[in-house]
Amino acid sequence: MTNGVHNAAEMDYGFQMEVIQALARFLHKDWGITPDDDKDLNDKSLHYKDRILASYLTSEGKIWINAESEDGNDYTEIMIMFPDEY
């Protein structure tokens, strides 16, 4: 989680819960408000352990959740960020 998301979550319990819900959706392959073409790409990326990027709408605006695999076997990094922190 980036500092921006972390700080906003510390200040707003409702936003904190939205972030947790978005992460749960992400882990269940619900790509949120991501465009359909990118949702399809995310589904294909799971097979090859390529990068996945999903977008969710919250009370603080959009957040992105990004997962990457360093070794092509497992997703070792998941980052939650505001789009302007990318």
Q: What's the pLDDT score for residue 76? A: 86
Q: Is the pLDDT of residue 73 over 80?
A: no
0.85 cut: is pTM over it?
A: yes
What crossing angle do the helices spanning 13-27 and 3-11 adopt, rounded to 10°?
A: 130
Tell me the two tokens of residue 26: 């992400």
**Which band of pLDDT confidence, cut at 50, 70 and 90, is reported for residue 74?**
confident
Q: Which residue has the tokens 């998301």?
A: 5
Amino acid letter, 55: S
